[in-house]
Chain A
Amino acid sequence: MAISEEVLSWQDRARRVAWGIRKRVLEHTIASNGGYLSQACSSAEILATLYIKVMKLGPSQAPMLPPPFPGVPGKDNPHYFTGAGYNGPKAPDLDRFFLSPAHYALALYATLIEVGRMAPEGLAMFNKDGSSVEMIGAEHSPGMEVTCGSLGQTLSQAAGIALARKLHGETGRVWVFMSDGEFQSGQTWEAMQVLPFYNLDNVGVYVDVNGQQCDGKMEDVMRIEPLRSRAEAFGARVFQVDGHDVNALAAPAEMPTDGRPLVILAYTNPCQGIGLLEARRPRLHYVRFKDEEERAKYAAVLAKM
């Protein structure tokens, strides 16, 4: 494996990471009888492409094994840290990453393991008391930097960070991973309004358009389509791509910026790679097996991965 890594194309490495994300999250879901599995299935190629190809990051600055929860931020707590260190150092020319839907934390942790930024044992700390590897990722969780469990706030925070970086003359970009459900929230559109107003073309947004939310199919819960024309109408430069095609995902990020925020709508399948999930539609938000028989079926799928 070490030999082949050297000669693999970035595309093959990204596909391998994506496969690893699905496998680790499935494994975790079976072991703990529950997990955000469909999110991993839909976002695996997006996260893999971001970490393997799109983002310009330095090596991880954080311990391979995530340290325990350091206590909440406050003037009397000098020990607080964020999980940003897993994405490398902060430097003017380096990119920054912001995971907006914190429910995707499990997929992000799996990604960090697959790209060598976190120890595989770190996943065992998921949702354990006293751990920083929280279920709904918080800003001290590996790979995270802002508080985003209340959905729809990260794009605004990233916009503020992007403006600050421009004012400081930094060239690094600000990448935001979002879920399509967040486009039901008013604040998202407030942020979509402010980004082009201040020409924040250092912001790039990858949206996992998997069409699913907690209550089921987004089309039935609250429609957001046509997302492309809506986003374009707000002044974004929008690309609509197959969210499982690593080339298509990476291409827009290669283009020279043009003053507009970049939005990549990645249309995905929340059951991608694990066909068994199809039977659970339309309720895919959090997978908990209804009995041992179902769990065994998934274990059989894992055994073949």
Chain B
Amino acid sequence: MEVMSRVHARNLVEWARDKPEVVVLSADLTGSTEIDLFRDAYPDRFFSMGMAEQNMMSFAGGLAREGFYPFVHTFAVFIYRRAYDQIAASIAYPNLPVRIFGFLPGVTTPGGATHQAIEDIAVMCALPNMTILEVGDATDVETMLDVAQSINGPLYVRMLRGEIPRLFSKTEPLRLGQARILSTGADIVLFSSGICTEEAMRATQALAARGVSVQHMHISTLKPFKDPAVLEAAAQARYGMITMENHTILGGLGTCVAEMMAEAGIGKRLVRVGIRDTFLHGASRPYLMKKYGLDAMALIRAVEKLLDTTFGITEADLAAIRLESVHSAAKAEAL
């Protein structure tokens, strides 16, 4: 598996080259949100706003009203917790094309509860006019900007930084409202998002070796949540569904799937793997994923629960699995 570094930093500079109307706003986290290269490349389009997120959000609304596309970058918690009223009144209500990039989702920081965005999707989902994307790999990060620009209205992107694996083919861009099919199967349907997809891929390989067929779909569009392929897969699951997310199970992917199933009248079991209505604390990502049940082993347990069995899969079995970047099943011939 290829691991990429500072994907957004380089990609944004290239992508924005011929888009003078794209401006970038920073709240004192320029290097930390990978917009330092943009600042250096286009200093006239970079605006430092200081540690003042409320003003930054309303200010971005003002710029958007005059024809600019403000790309607001900071840690996710400082967006939706500090400046929710400003996002609601200055950006979302008037449906302005402000692109909001929230970094450090869930367990991706050892910064503790004040830095870990664990309920951002729930909060943003409740906001009318808001579109929500979550990226899961380097290809998602690279190709999300074109999707962003196609949206007539505000967008919240749950972002990744630093070293990011490439799980999906470079030739298959993120598409709005379209899940990536990573494996096909009839026993279990698994929906994962963000960094959980990599863990899920580890688990599905181990499960396949035990004869369990899993339909694994990576979800990047959390709102609007109406991909017909997701509903179709849910309807065909033999034993039930599992959602897996780096977010509280209340109001995130698990809730999106549950609501979709209930509205469509699909009466099947759903096991939600995610943060279980608790704050986290400061520690490493692998430690937190294990402690709060977001890792491959947690998924194995969820499958065992649905199938009412035990597989005897060990941590060592999972560690031995090598992940390769995959093409979606939609283009099987490319495999």
Contact = CB atoms under 8 A, between A and B. Distances in A.
A289 B93 CA distance: 35
A193 B49 CA distance: 9
A100 to B, nearest CB: 11
Most buried by B among A147, A148, A149, A198: A147
B153 A194 contact: no
B52 A75 contact: no
A81 to B, nearest CB: 12
B65 A150 contact: no
B62 interface: yes
A161 B66 contact: yes
A157 B95 CA distance: 14
Given A161-B66, A164-B68, A72 B93 contact: yes
B55 A190 contact: yes
Interface stretch (B83-91, B191-199, B225-233): B83-91
A161 B64 CA distance: 8
B129 A160 contact: no
B286 interface: no
B68 A194 contact: no
A190 B95 contact: no
A157 to B, nearest CB: 4
A156 B62 contact: yes
Contacts of B88: 150
A157 B129 contact: no
Contacts of B62: 146, 156-164
B162 interface: no
A74 interface: yes
A73 B93 contact: yes
A194 B49 contact: yes
A263 interface: no
Nearest to A162: B62
B94 A73 contact: yes
Nearest to A73: B95
A150 B61 CA distance: 15
Contacts of A159: 55, 59, 62
Contacts of A165: 66
Contact of A74 (B54, B65, B95): B95
Interface in A182-213: 186-187, 190-191, 193-194, 197-198
B43 interface: no
Contacts of A191: 55, 58-59
A12 B64 CA distance: 39
Interface residues of A, number: 32
B152 interface: yes
Contact of A160 (B54, B60, B153): B60
B293 to A, nearest CB: 38
B111 interface: no
A187 B90 CA distance: 13
Contacts, number: 107
Interface in B33-71: 47, 49-50, 52, 54-55, 57-68, 70
B95 A153 contact: no
B128 interface: yes
Contacts of A162: 62
Given A73-B94, A187-B55, A190-B52, A160 B89 contact: no
Given A164-B68, A168-B66, A73 B129 contact: yes
A139 interface: yes
Nearest to B83: A187
Contacts of B63: 160-161, 163-164
Contact of A146 (B50, B57, B67, B94): B94
A147 B93 contact: yes
Given A161-B65, A163-B47, A168-B66, A156 B128 contact: no
B59 A187 contact: no
A117 B54 CA distance: 34
A270 to B, nearest CB: 26
A194 B93 contact: no
Contacts of A139: 93-94
Contacts of B55: 156, 159, 187, 190-191, 193-194
Interface string B142-163: 0000000000110000000000
B66 A164 contact: yes
A157 B54 contact: no
Interface in A18-61: none
B128 A74 contact: yes
A186 B54 contact: yes
Nearest to A139: B94
Interface in A127-180: 139, 146-150, 153-154, 156-165, 167-168
A98 to B, nearest CB: 9
A161 to B, nearest CB: 4
A156 B90 contact: yes
Contacts of A157: 58-59, 61-62, 65, 90
Nearest to A163: B63
Contacts of B58: 153-154, 156-157, 160, 187, 191
Contacts of B85: 150, 153
A134 B285 CA distance: 50
5 contacts: A149-B89, A150-B89, A156-B61, A156-B90, A157-B59
Given A146-B90, A191-B58, A194-B50, 13 more contacts: A74-B95, A75-B129, A153-B90, A159-B55, A160-B61, A160-B63, A160-B66, A161-B63, A164-B62, A164-B66, A164-B67, A168-B66, A193-B50
Which 4 residue pairs across A and B have the least CB separation, nearest first?
A: A160-B62, A164-B66, A156-B58, A190-B55
Interface of A: 72-75, 139, 146-150, 153-154, 156-165, 167-168, 186-187, 190-191, 193-194, 197-198
